[in-house]
């Protein structure tokens, strides 16, 4: 794909940690330069409170995020064909994205970002794991899309 994508979908397992972080960071950095959404393989839990907390620290609001699955997207009338780029952040979402994209002209990239949910035994250790995930996603976004232009 050449140029800045017009529509990007980030995906992970549940759409509660990594993909909402990526969606929020992308919107913070690039505003309306691209249509950005996120989804999960499953939609069976609410947004993770640690995700909300660590993103709030850097001015990314995830409080109103509602987890959704690929199936929810389809049910709500949003098709994979409406995106130029899908960025999968987990092995399961990568497999689903590749399968869904075969019938559409959409590029799929895989960024293996570890799930912070099982890391750390204390609250502070868990927050640190989530911060590392947030910062890793932010770094990948900046590497892939470049420094944001002033809006």
Residue 149 lies in a domain: no
Provide the CATH number for the domain around residue 108: 3.40.50.2300
List, for residues 21-49, the tens digit of each pLDDT value: 999 999 999 998 999 999 999 987 788 99
Question: Cα(59)–Cα(11) distance, rounded to whole angstroms?
Answer: 21
Q: In this structure, are strands 107-110 and 85-88 parallel, antiparallel, or unpaired?
A: parallel
Residue-wise pLDDT tens digits, 2-16? 578 999 999 999 999
In a domain, 15, yes or no: yes
Domain holding 100, by residue range, is: 7-144
């Amino acid at each position: 794909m050449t140029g800045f994508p017009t529509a990007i979908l980030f995906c992970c397992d549940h759409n509660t940690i990594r993909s909402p972080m990526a969606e929020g960071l992308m919107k913070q950095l690039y505003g309306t330069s691209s249509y950005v959404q996120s989804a999960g393989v499953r939609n069976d839990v609410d947004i993770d409170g640690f995700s909300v907390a660590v993103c709030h620290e850097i001015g990314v609001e995830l409080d109103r995020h509602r987890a959704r699955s690929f199936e929810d997207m389809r049910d709500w009338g949003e098709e994979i064909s409406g995106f130029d780029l899908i960025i999968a952040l987990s092995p399961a979402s990568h497999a689903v994205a590749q399968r869904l994209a075969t019938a559409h002209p959409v590029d799929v990239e895989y960024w293996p970002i570890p799930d912070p949910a099982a890391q750390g035994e204390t609250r502070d250790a868990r927050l640190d794991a989530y911060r590392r995930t947030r910062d890793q996603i932010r770094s990948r976004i900046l590497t892939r899309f470049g420094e944001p232009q002033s809006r």
